[in-house]
């Protein structure tokens, strides 16, 4: 069977769940091979092997850390031209989608995004129109480049003993055209993988009002987010925007505060398992989508909600048996 390249994501010494999901899908298409930026430690190698990686291609160079997107494009293009894989799998996300698109152009190959499942061929299942439809698609030109929504994938181990084969990639000058000048070490995990999201919109009224969004998110151990209107007003940074052209999310719980619910916003969050909305307008479109809705002023409702959460957490729990 042909090799299937998987772009492995790591956080420090740990392998991301997204990578395990990609390896799970890659096993259906061929022989999984993990492409790793940096030297894999023994623990990381063991995890990659546990989920089926037969080969690990580590690439160690200064460019990998200093120019993460451009370097990974070169890594995948180099290996694809050398090994002619059956497919290349990349986890969706801001960087992942950019990498996938650039690799597809460089290889003159087809790209499929929003992939949630694959079968031999490869034929993929895509979630489109904000999760309203699922379609089957296939690439008809070149090496299939698949950008996968890994939160949809059930991770299944299949232990293998991987071979570590270091790769030397010639990085051209264009990789260094953009350089990193700072990195926010406190940046939270991506919205696209969050289990609980609290989002605020125009109805929170101000930057100070948006603090209620952050406070409620903290109380629920979730992530704060904003609508297009909130980001446009400067109440939250662009990376916190839930929008059809921002971040599309699928949390277990989504709380919308002061968000009327434009089509672009509803498309981006309709995949949430449970949606709770609070808005002062009883005719707000967001209520058409919500599982639970409350008509009211978020400045009055949210402080009471936070107080109730804190009160319940302070109560001792009685464990029977």
DSSP 103-151: HHHHHT--EEEEEEEEETTTEEEEEEGGGTEEEEE---SSS-EEEE-GG
Binding residues for FAD: 202, 258-265
The backbone torsions φ and ψ at residue 258, rounded to the nearest 5 degrees and listed phi first, read 65, 30
Q: Phi and psi at residue 164, in whole multiples of 5°? A: -95, 120
Binding site: what residues are annotated? 202, 258-265
Tokens representing 303 are 């402080």
Say which residue the tokens 């990639």 belong to.
169
Tokens 């707000």, residue? 284
**Cα 104 to Cα 24: distance, rounded to the nearest angstrom:** 22
Distance of CA 262 to the CA centre of its chain: 22
**Alpha-carbon radius of gyration of the chain:** 22
Q: Where in the chain does DSSP place strands (E)?
A: 3-7, 10-11, 14-15, 31-37, 55-59, 87-91, 111-119, 123-128, 133-137, 145-148, 163-164, 196-200, 223-226, 253-257, 274-279, 292-295
């Amino acid at each position: 069977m042909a090799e299937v390249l998987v772009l492995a994501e790591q956080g420090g010494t740990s392998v991301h769940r997204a990578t395990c999901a990609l390896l799970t899908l890659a096993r259906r298409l061929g022989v999984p091979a993990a492409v790793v930026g940096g030297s894999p430690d023994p623990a990381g190698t063991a995890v990659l092997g546990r989920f089926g990686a037969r080969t690990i291609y580590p690439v160690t160079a200064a460019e990998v850390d200093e120019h993460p997107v451009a370097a990974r494009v070169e890594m995948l293009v180099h290996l694809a031209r050398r090994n002619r894989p059956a497919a290349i799998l990349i986890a969706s996300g801001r960087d992942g989608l950019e990498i996938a698109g650039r690799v597809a152009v460089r290889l003159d190959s087809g790209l499929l995004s929003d992939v949630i499942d694959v079968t031999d061929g490869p034929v993929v299942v895509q979630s489109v129109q904000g999760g309203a439809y699922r379609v089957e698609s296939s690439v008809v030109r070149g090496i299939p480049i698949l950008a996968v929504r890994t939160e949809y994938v059930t991770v299944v181990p299949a232990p293998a003993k991987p071979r570590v084969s270091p790769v030397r990639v010639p990085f051209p000058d264009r990789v260094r055209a953009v350089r990193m000048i700072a990195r926010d070490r406190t940046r939270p995990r991506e919205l696209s993988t969050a289990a609980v999201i609290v989002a605020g919109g125009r109805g929170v009224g101000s930057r100070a009002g948006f603090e209620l969004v952050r406070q409620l998110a903290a109380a629920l151990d979730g992530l704060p987010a904003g609508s297009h209107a909130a980001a446009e007003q400067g109440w939250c940074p662009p990376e916190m925007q839930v929008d059809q052209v921002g971040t599309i999310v699928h949390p277990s719980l989504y709380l919308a505060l002061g968000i009327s619910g434009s089509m672009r916003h509803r498309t981006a969050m309709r995949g949430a398992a449970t949606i709770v909305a609070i808005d002062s307008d009883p005719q707000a479109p967001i209520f058409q989508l919500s599982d639970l809705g409350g008509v009211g002023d978020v400045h009055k409702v949210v402080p009471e909600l936070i107080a109730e959460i804190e009160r319940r957490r302070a109560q001792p729990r009685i464990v029977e048996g």
